[in-house]
């Protein structure tokens, strides 16, 4: 299994060995963090810092659709969370993401699908970030709880730490991992909020919920 320098940097940060900026450049700080992590985990190769499946991140989304799964949504995410919080399997299993190829795995995040599981709450059709309106199909509390449960289960299964660099929303991909996206604001709002917030701060709140289950 091959991992990019950016994947390695994000994994190191998720494990608590900060490599400096997540920029895809293997410099001195990245190398020092790598050496510390391998010594701590008693491994000889950088690849051994990852789960054997090759999966190392979870990306949170909303579909931007109405309640009720459609084939397009099932094709784009590894799992959907429906209106009552039930997890619905997507077309492609999670482990298809380890060797991502369009048409053979879920294409959920621009240029960031390899090794990343895509979870989506099925909601937010007609929503608008500014001025904010949640639309006729807002995220429900049951959906948020379902997203948290699914994340916790996958973190246990694939040794994915709960961190800003490994469990994060689509809106966090660009500011945290430095991978440009197309003005995505999922998930900057969930039930109980008056308006969308800073994506990383909102992500921190969801991560705290996941840690509460773990």
Write down the H helix ranges in 100-172.
141-158, 170-172
State residue 2's pLDDT score. 84
Q: What is the chain's Cα-based Rg?
A: 17
Instruction: Find out whether 190 and 63 touch, Cβ atoms under 8 Å.
Output: no
Q: What percent of the chain has pLDDT over 90?
A: 99
What mean pLDDT comes out for the span 146-171? 98
Domains and CATH numbers, the chain: 5-49 (no CATH), 57-213 (3.40.80.10)
Instruction: Tell me the pLDDT tens digit for each residue of 2-35.
Output: 899 999 999 999 999 999 999 999 999 999 999 9
What mean pLDDT comes out for the span 96-105? 97
Instruction: Find out whether 61 and 169 touch, Cβ atoms under 8 Å.
Output: yes
Q: How many CA atoms lie within 13 A of 83 on its CB side?
A: 10
Identify any residues that bridge with 128 across adjacent strands, giving them in sequence order.
133
Cα 23 to the chain's mean position, in Å? 18
State residue 26's pLDDT score. 96
Q: What percent of the chain has pLDDT over 70?
A: 100
Is it the case that residue 190 has pLDDT exceeding 90?
Answer: yes
Cα 129 to the chain's mean position, in Å? 20
Closest to 186 measured CA to CA, from 145, 147, 142: 147
* pLDDT classification of 1: cutoffs 50, 70, 90: confident
What mean pLDDT comes out for the span 56-75? 98
First to last CA, the chain: 28
Take residue 5 and report the two structure tokens written for it.
């320098």
State residue 193's pLDDT score. 97
Instruction: Tell me the pLDDT tens digit for each residue of 109-141.
Output: 999 999 999 999 999 999 999 999 999 999 999
State residue 13's pLDDT score. 98
């Amino acid at each position: 299994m091959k991992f990019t320098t950016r994947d390695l940097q994000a994994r190191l940060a998720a494990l608590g060995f900060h490599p400096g900026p997540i920029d895809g450049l293997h410099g001195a700080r990245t190398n020092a963090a790598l050496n510390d992590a391998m010594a701590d985990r008693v491994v000889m190769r950088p690849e051994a810092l990852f789960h054997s499946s090759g999966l190392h991140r979870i990306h949170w989304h909303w579909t931007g659709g109405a309640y009720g799964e459609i084939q397009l949504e099932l094709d784009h995410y590894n799992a959907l969370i429906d209106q009552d919080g039930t997890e619905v399997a997507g077309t492609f299993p999670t482990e298809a993401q380890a060797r991502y190829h369009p048409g053979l795995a879920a294409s959920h995040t621009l240029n960031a699908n390899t090794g990343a599981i895509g979870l989506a709450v099925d909601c937010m059709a007609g929503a608008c970030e500014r001025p904010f309106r949640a639309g006729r199909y807002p995220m429900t509390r049951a959906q948020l709880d379902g997203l948290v449960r699914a994340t916790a289960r996958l973190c246990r299964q694939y040794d994915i730490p709960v961190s800003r660099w490994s469990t994060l929303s689509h809106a966090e991909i660009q500011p945290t991992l430095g991978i440009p996206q197309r003005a995505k604001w999922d998930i900057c709002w969930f039930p109980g909020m008056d308006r969308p917030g800073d994506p990383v701060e909102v992500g921190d709140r969801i991560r705290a919920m996941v840690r509460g289950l773990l």
